[in-house]
Amino acid sequence: MAGPAPVLRLSGITKRFGALVANDAVTLELGAGEVLALLGENGAGKSTLVSILFGHYVADAGSIEVFGRPLPPGQPKASLAAGIGMVHQHFTLADNLSVLDNVVLGTEPLWQPFSRRREARAKLAAVAARFGLPVDPDARVGSLSVGERQRVEILKALYRGARILILDEPTAVLTPQESEALFDTLGQMVAQGLSIVFISHKLGEVLRVSHRVAVLRAGRLVAEAPVAGTTEAQLAQWMVGQAVAAPVRRPAVGVGDVVCAIENVSTPAGVRERLDAVSLQLRAGEIVAVAGVSGNGQAALAELLSGVRRASAGTVRLDGVPLPAEPARLVERGVARVPEDRHAVGVVGDLPVWENAVSERLRTRVFSRWSVVRRVAARRHAARVIEAYDVRGGGPLALARSLSGGNMQKLILGRALLAPEGQAATPRLIVAHQPTWGLDIGAVAYVQQQLLAARDAGAAVLLISDDLDEVMTLGDRIAVMHHGRLTDARPVDDWTREGIGLAMAGAA
């Protein structure tokens, strides 16, 4: 006897971009009240598949049915009308508007002479009550916590009648407590018949909240399985095609002298994020991990130690000498940086790999003489970076923007950590800001191993990360940042996930 019909059926979806086959005959079903985890490395085809589902792309072959009816291709309005909603990883809310205004925005015709706010308020209250998503409709979105903003994003989709909800990395910027609240909400939504597609790199969460997993690799659906009986190791192997050895936390040995000392540092107000009387010591052979919800001052700390932001009060010393706000001089003194945004800050996409590989040391005598670039030496060094850090994607002459996210990050790591021939092999200080953000599980493991290797070689490492698993795996000491203030950096064994979460929320 056949079971109930699926609420969503994708049949033979194929999409090509030139010679690249982004989706290759993907067939997938979603049941009523089911949580389906959609997994895959970067470039596996997840985003393309979702874009086709929303009508942003038109498939070259295949069809989609929603609640038994064909979904017209290339029509976003049709997808919304069919009951498909999505909560993006990066929220699309207007901070200066109220919760109610954000939810209603775009749902009323432009030619309507007045807004039906009373009806909208009642409908929002009913949706919030039904799904256990309490919210103040008059609160300004800019005043809400990250978890509350995500709640508003979910309410936006439900207010529009979504019966199939796609969540893209929903816990990426949440505290552990906020993540737990989200999981409770998902349970209530599923109990009332909603169906959810859950996209995440956090395999532990996938196994916890999902009923079934589907794995894409190189555009093809390579595995489907119920969560029961499936392990994180099995999921990782399906995603990358081979076993992935995740780093295992091992304590630092031979922690040395203070390399960098920050004492009561504040940065000017009125600039994006700021520091408020922050003190921290970074020692050779140790990783200090800074946790916190994004936007609480982590960018200011990274920029301070990278030489692109000045302190308005306090002192910063590197090996006992004041730290200049000059990036080139910091590189000369052994400071290596892995910036948060690899595309906008990490590389120049329209320059070839070899130029990016030497860009931070271009003014040194190794790579230039009398303002003329020594191309042979530069390309030789780029070849060393490519080989040592397994940068795949066309060699030294390929444009940096042609690299995948993982290979772009490997290039940045190699530039930061591999010294030119004849120079000190290990940086004195490494500032790694979200070094694994948005990477697939294989690239994450590689980047983390390189940071551990640099620590073991004697570097002082500052790791700034939103990922608590990463913080607790790599950090020898952990500090938490909230509203520009930093807790004491305590040994990792002195922290629990719950304690870090409370500190991230300002409660400890």
- Per-residue 3-state assignment (H helix, E strand, C coil) for 337-381: EECCCHHHHHCCCCCEHHHHHHHHHCCCCCCEECCEECHHHHHHH
pLDDT of 114: 59
CATH class of 8-240: alpha beta
Q: How many CA atoms lie within 13 A of 426 on its CB side?
A: 16
DSSP state of 71: P
pLDDT of 108: 66
Give the integer Cα–Cα distance in Å for 495 and 99: 35
Give the closest residue to 101 by CA, choosing from 131, 134, 142, 132.
142
List helix spans (H) across 364-436. 375-388, 405-417
> What is the torsion angle, in degrees rounded to the nearest 10, for the CA atoms of residue 82, residue 11, residue 153 and residue 274?
-150
Give the integer Cα–Cα distance in Å for 63 and 86: 20
Are the beta carbons of 271 and 444 closer than 8 angstroms?
Answer: no
Residue identified by tokens 């780093």 is: 247
Q: What are phi and psi of 268, to 5 degrees?
A: -60, 145
Q: What are phi and psi of 414, to 5 degrees?
A: -60, -40
Are the beta carbons of 71 and 7 closer than 8 angstroms?
Answer: no
Give the integer Cα–Cα distance in Å for 86 and 170: 11
Q: Which amino acid does the sequence have at 450?
A: Q
Question: Coil, strand, or helix at residue 422?
Answer: coil
Distances in whole angstroms, Cα of residue 358 to Cα of each of 414, 417, 446: 10, 12, 22
Give the integer Cα–Cα distance in Å for 26 and 31: 17
Are the beta carbons of 14 and 21 closer than 8 angstroms?
Answer: yes
Are the beta carbons of 449 and 247 closer than 8 angstroms?
Answer: yes
The low-confidence residues of the chain, meaning pLDDT below 70, are 1-4, 89, 108-115, 422-424, 438, 508
Strand order of the β-sheet with 164-168 is 84-87, 164-168, 195-199, 35-40, 212-217, 220-226
pTM: 0.77
pLDDT tens per residue, range 19-28: 889 999 999 9
Are the beta carbons of 386 and 413 closer than 8 angstroms?
Answer: no
Q: How many Å separate Cα 252 from the centre of its chain? A: 27
Long-range CB contacts for residues 178-186, cutoff 8 Å, separation at least 24? 178/145, 178/146, 178/147, 178/150, 178/501, 178/505, 179/205, 181/147, 182/147, 182/150, 183/208, 183/209, 184/132, 185/131, 185/132, 185/133, 185/151, 185/154, 186/35
What tokens appear for 38 in the block? 């959609």
Spell out the SS3 assignment of 318-333: ECCEECCCCHHHHHHC
**Strand pairing class (429-433; 335-338):** parallel
pLDDT of 1: 40
Q: Which residues lie closer than 8 Å to 471 by C-beta, 6 or more apart?
A: 289, 291, 463, 465, 478, 500
Q: Which CATH superfamily is domain 247-334+426-508 in?
A: P-loop containing nucleotide triphosphate hydrolases (3.40.50.300)
Location of each CATH 3.40.50.300 domain in the chain: 8-240, 247-334+426-508
Are the beta carbons of 500 and 468 closer than 8 angstroms?
Answer: yes
> What is the torsion angle, in degrees rounded to the nearest 10, for the CA atoms of residue 355, residue 360, residue 362 and residue 366?
-110
Beta bridge partners of 352: 399
Give the integer Cα–Cα distance in Å for 121 and 57: 34
pLDDT of 479: 96
pLDDT of 330: 87
Give the integer Cα–Cα distance in Å for 61 and 323: 58
Give the integer Cα–Cα distance in Å for 259 and 248: 25
Give the integer Cα–Cα distance in Å for 314 and 57: 52
pLDDT of 110: 54
